[in-house]
Amino acid sequence: MSDTKKQALSLGGVVVATALPYSENASAPGGLAVDYDRYAEHCRWLVENGCHGVGPNGSLGEYSSLTDDERRKVAQTAIEAVGDSGIVVVGVHGAGSHQAKHWAEVAAEDGADGLLCLPPTMYRANRGEVLAHFEAVASVGLPVMVYNNPIDTKVDLTPDLVAEIARIDNVVAIKEFSGDVRRVLEIKEQAPGLEVISGADDVVLESLLMGATGWFAGFPNVFPAESARLYDLAVAGELEAARALYEPLVAAFRWDSRTEFVQAIKLGMEQVGRYGGPCRPPRGPLTPQMREQIQADMSRAIAALEKQSA
């Protein structure tokens, strides 16, 4: 294993929640087949542009719309594509602990570096059930990043609950997506040693300045090199330069926290000359008004970056 990979195994840095490309195929689910070759190229491109790793099979990767065979092959594709150049943190979300543990075991077999795991999906689990869920996943032995997304799961991993979860062996980090940057310090106080990872793009600078050690990100699918630079500036405490880079991007970044975030990020990819493409159901096309707003927000971000680079 290379020195770069060893240094990255903290699960910190910029890990990109990868968007998943499809090609039209009438016989595939939803009329769309996963384009594994294009996905492999995208994973390599992200790491080559300075990101620390990739996260297949997250919400942005539309894991819940995949067949079991597709879901495993997506993770395998990312692992093979990245190799020793970065880390791969595989999403193992499941409705119950038995499903999540199964995906954790599969990820371990396939060579993942770490796991990203929501509380039970589709069920508002109580405190004991949440702890049991993460205990089952962590028992597989890979480093686990728990994922707090109370908007979608209806389960809020509050700092006091996070402190309990952090006592589980192999739980090393939390992806914090509540949008409340006050939690960064509160989690660090109650669960010292647990890495706090910013999960929402539109509060990433605030989170990093308060002590977050990573960014599990959506819009680096669009701006990988610029996102890696933003992360480096923030952790180095270069606030003036970080703000100058961040502020023109925030309007676009806010789409990461909206219902249509997958479609928005794929559209953003198209605007910078990458392939975004369609989404499988239940995600449908953007309304004309949303499409126009995303394009406007992205255009301002692109223009600002071009001006800065000039």
Report yes or no: 212 and 182 within 8 Å, Cβ to Cβ.
no
Enter the pTM of the model: 0.95
Q: Active site residue: 39, 63, 101, 175, which one?
A: 175
Please give the average per-residue pLDDT across 115-125, as a whole number.
Answer: 95
Q: What is the mean pLDDT of the chain?
A: 95
φ/ψ bin of 170: left (φ > 0), alpha (ψ from -120 to 50), beta (otherwise) = left
Q: How far is CA 171 from the centre of its chain?
A: 17
147 is catalytic: yes
Q: Which residues contact 205 (CB under 8 A, 6 or more apart)?
A: 230, 234, 242, 243, 246
Report all structural domains of the chain as residue ranges with CATH numbers, in order of start.
Answer: 13-242 (3.20.20.70)
Name the DSSP letter for residue 65.
G
| pLDDT tens by residue, 222-272 | 999 999 999 999 999 999 999 999 999 999 999 999 999 999 999 999 999
Annotation says 154 is catalytic: no
Average pLDDT over residues 306-310: 89
Closest CA to 146 of 63, 73, 89, 221: 89
Q: Which candidate in 22, 36, 39, 147 is catalytic?
A: 147
